[in-house]
């Protein structure tokens, strides 16, 4: 998949694609349906997305909410067969584009889109003045086709949405969130150097900051962690805590991952951590011995939960 961080000066062989537009946060089953319809339209399949997420730019003081980093979003889109990813910087300039200006400068002059695919609730341009109906009108004027995809629902009529997935994760339901996503929810980041307290009690951990990621329910999870190994990723089972470590007077929210049967050095490497099941809420223990005893129980439970699941080999797999 080719990645462009701009819309001007795009080479001829990266223009003239079917362009699906959206934030694609999570690349969930609704997004996948939209991409499937865009792919069925033929020719090259492209996605047009924005960084930072417009919500982050427009509401900088809002709590973290991201389901996917740009790195993971690109990985998921490539796995789904996207040929080109255009990522535009959402800043003061782009945020002031009128809907007509966005169509003319970005879609027509910049990307040369032959067809544009959006969701039914898609809005764009300054003060959200453009919508799907306006885009259809502009397509007729500028010579590109427009496809509008209706909301995708599950067997019980519930819409697949990033908002619904965020709610499930905040409630400690990663397995149910994975059903809506079509793949386990994953936190990706660089392994930090911590206080190495886990080593002293026999459970070394790889620590990853959550950054802009959504803060899920605090507690202990059964996880599968992907360790980068050159061009491939080696997945290992483990147990993780998301929280502030109240027993050791921690204050910073952190993802701590203990990999089963692993003795390597992960400092400075990127780690992908898929939350597979929620085990228990975070709580304070009387001391390190009590904490160690509970971790033993947590590990046993995590191993049992993960043994019942299909081994993870790709990013688009669901639990």
C-alpha to C-alpha distances, 195 to 198, 203, 205, 220, 248, nearest whole angstrom: 8, 13, 10, 19, 11
- Could you tell me which of 83, 85, 93, 92 has the C-alpha nearest to residue 68? 85
- 11 DSSP 8-state letter: -
C-alpha to C-alpha distances, 97 to 9, 53, 56, 144, nearest whole angstrom: 19, 16, 18, 20
The residue annotated as part of the active site, out of 256, 289, 300, 317, is 256
Alpha carbons 174 and 178: distance in angstroms, whole number = 6
Instruction: Decide if 221 contacts 275 (C-beta within 8 A).
Output: yes
C-alpha to C-alpha distances, 2 to 14, 82, 110, 117, 224, nearest whole angstrom: 8, 9, 16, 19, 28
C-alpha to C-alpha distances, 148 to 52, 73, 133, nearest whole angstrom: 25, 22, 9
- Could you tell me which of 20, 27, 30 has the C-alpha nearest to residue 72? 27
Q: Which residue has the tokens 């803060």?
A: 215
Strands 254-259 and 206-208 turn out to be antiparallel
Alpha carbons 126 and 117: distance in angstroms, whole number = 20
Instruction: Decide if 282 contacts 246 (C-beta within 8 A).
Output: yes
- Catalytic (active site) residue 282: no
The 10 Å Cβ neighbour count of residue 32 is 20
Question: H helices within the chain, ranges in order?
Answer: 29-40, 54-58, 70-79, 92-95, 99-101, 132-142, 162-170, 174-181, 197-200, 288-307
Which residues belong to the active site? 256
């Amino acid at each position: 998949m080719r990645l462009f961080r701009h819309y001007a000066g795009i080479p001829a062989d990266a223009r003239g694609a079917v362009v699906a537009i959206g934030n694609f946060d999570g690349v969930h089953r609704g997004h996948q349906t939209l991409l499937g319809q865009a792919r069925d339209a033929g020719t090259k399949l492209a996605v047009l997305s924005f960084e930072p997420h417009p919500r982050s730019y427009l509401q900088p003081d809002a709590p973290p909410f991201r389901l996917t980093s740009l790195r993971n979003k690109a990985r998921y889109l490539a796995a789904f067969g996207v040929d080109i990813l255009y990522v535009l910087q959402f800043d003061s300039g782009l945020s002031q584009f009128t809907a007509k200006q966005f169509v003319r400068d970005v879609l027509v002059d910049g990307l040369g889109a032959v067809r544009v695919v959006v969701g039914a609730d898609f809005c764009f341009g300054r003060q959200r003045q453009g919508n799907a109906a306006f885009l259809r009108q502009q397509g007729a004027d500028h010579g590109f086709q427009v496809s509008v995809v209706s909301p995708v629902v599950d067997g019980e009529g519930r819409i697949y949405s990033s908002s619904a997935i965020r709610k499930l994760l905040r409630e400690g339901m990663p397995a149910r969130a994975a059903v809506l996503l079509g793949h386990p929810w994953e936190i990706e980041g660089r392994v930090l150097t911590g206080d190495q307290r886990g080593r002293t009690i026999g459970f070394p951990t790889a620590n990853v900051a959550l950054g802009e990621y959504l803060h899920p329910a605090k507690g202990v999870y059964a996880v599968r962690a992907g360790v980068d190994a050159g061009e491939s990723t080696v997945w290992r089972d483990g147990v993780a805590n998301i929280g502030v470590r109240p027993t050791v007077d921690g204050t910073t929210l952190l993802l701590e991952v203990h990999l089963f049967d692993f003795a390597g050095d992960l400092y400075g490497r990127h780690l992908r951590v898929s939350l597979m099941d929620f085990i228990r809420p975070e709580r304070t223990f009387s001391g390190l011995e009590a904490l160690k005893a509970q971790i033993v129980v947590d590990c046993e439970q995590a191993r049992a939960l993960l043994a019942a699941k299909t081994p993870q080999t790709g990013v688009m797999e669901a639990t």
